Chains A and B, each alone.
Chain A
Amino acid sequence: MLDASGIDEKTMTAPKSTETVSSGKTSDHSRRPMFDEDIGFQRRQWRVERFGWAAMVLVIIAALAGVLGGGGIVELATASDSTSLTEVRYARFARYSSSTTLEVNVTASASGRPMRLSISDQYLGAMNVRAITPSPISTSIASRQHVFVFDRAASAAATIRFELVPQSIGRHEGWIAVDGAAPVFFSHFVYP
């Protein structure tokens, strides 16, 4: 036991001394075949590593800007019809199974009461409607569209907010029309 610990100490200090000698630059070819060292491969790997870091920083910048969804200046988009009485504010980029908000602004003179808001059923097929604020007084299904009816005081401006959860990945296109006016088209890209 005593001898063993003595040997152990010597072997522990041995590589330390060579380490201090070889400090500084490392040569291009492997000098320690017993360790299966491959300095060429190691250098290539370091280079890839640096590229990877740069890529990760770019991802973070993209995420902060909103390109990857989850909020940010690039993400918000506005679409309106030709008369610009109806305006839809939506997220260009959304994420799968994470809620996104769609806001419909209707200008005061756009419609009478009650207000009928139609959304393409194809779009709603890809989205789970979690909440609508304010709540519609009734909903109905017409050909290729869902109609939400909202009660409102005559000619009041209105903002209706839909909280939607994407149910599939990829591009989703939709349209919204208020009181039979020209539809407003918009689309999201949903990340996995």
Chain B
Amino acid sequence: MDSVWRAAAIYIGLMIIMRLSGKRSLAQITTFDFVLLLIIGEATQQALLGEDFSITNALIVIITLVTLDIGLSLLKRRSKKVDKWLDDVPLVIVEDGVALQDRMDKARVDVDDVLSAARHLQGIERLDQIRYAVLERSGGISIIPKENAS
């Protein structure tokens, strides 16, 4: 019984924290984001397992987490509203080579991040070569180059 409640509490707690932290926080942009992810994992582990190191407990915790995830994914397919609240929405941050500064400020992304993604994904070097830059739900930036990119 405890195992199920513990896993559910951690799942919901982590989900709320991650959503509050914004799209960008743990998209593994920097090395430290990766370290932060590891630390969160370590901190969570104790609370998830408590003092019970049995295989049964581990499996129950995993099954609870996975089932919650599947359940929510089914719920998200049914309801667009739930999907938006749980998984965020994509955001256009560059349009026709122009950075939409207010959006970028709110999402805590800067032009350097966009250019980094542009170099990485499309080999683009300047902002004006970008038709759209979209901050995806996952926190990554995807780039659509202009047709006549040169």
Give A residues with C-beta under 8 Å from B.
1-2, 5, 9, 53, 56-57, 59-60, 63-66, 68-72, 75, 95-99, 191-192
Q: 29 A-B Cβ contacts within 8 A?
A: A1-B123, A2-B150, A5-B122, A5-B145, A53-B67, A59-B59, A59-B60, A60-B4, A60-B67, A63-B64, A64-B4, A65-B1, A68-B3, A68-B60, A69-B56, A70-B3, A70-B56, A70-B57, A95-B54, A95-B56, A95-B57, A96-B55, A96-B56, A97-B53, A98-B52, A99-B51, A191-B54, A191-B56, A192-B55
Inter-chain CB contacts under 8 Å: number:
68
Q: A59 vs B3: C-alpha distance in the bound complex, in angstroms?
A: 12
Q: Give the chain B neighbours of A66 by CB distance below 8 A.
A: 1
A60, B56: Cβ atoms under 8 Å? Answer: no
* Known pairs A53-B67, A98-B52; A5 contacts B123 (CB<8 A): yes
Measured between C-beta atoms, what is the minimum distance from B32 to chain A in Å? 33
Measured between C-beta atoms, what is the minimum distance from B124 to chain A in Å? 9
Q: Give the chain B neighbours of A192 by CB distance below 8 A.
A: 54-56
* Known pairs A96-B54, A98-B53; A56 contacts B67 (CB<8 A): yes
B149 within 8 A of A: yes
Q: Give the chain A neighbours of B113 by CB distance below 8 A.
A: none
A57, B67: Cβ atoms under 8 Å? Answer: yes
Give B residues with C-beta under 8 Å from A.
1-4, 51-57, 59-60, 63-64, 66-67, 70, 122-123, 145, 149-150
* Known pairs A56-B66, A70-B1, A71-B1; A97 contacts B149 (CB<8 A): no
Q: A71 vs B52: C-alpha distance in the bound complex, in angstroms?
A: 12
A70, B63: Cβ atoms under 8 Å? Answer: no
Contact of A53 among B1, B51, B53, B70 (CB under 8 A): B70
Cβ-closest chain A residue relative to B59: A59
Q: A191 vs B54: C-alpha distance in the bound complex, in angstroms?
A: 8
Q: Give the chain A neighbours of B2 by CB distance below 8 A.
A: 70-71
Q: A60 vs B146: C-alpha distance in the bound complex, in angstroms?
A: 51
Q: Give the chain A neighbours of B64 by CB distance below 8 A.
A: 60, 63
Q: A65 vs B53: C-alpha distance in the bound complex, in angstroms?
A: 20
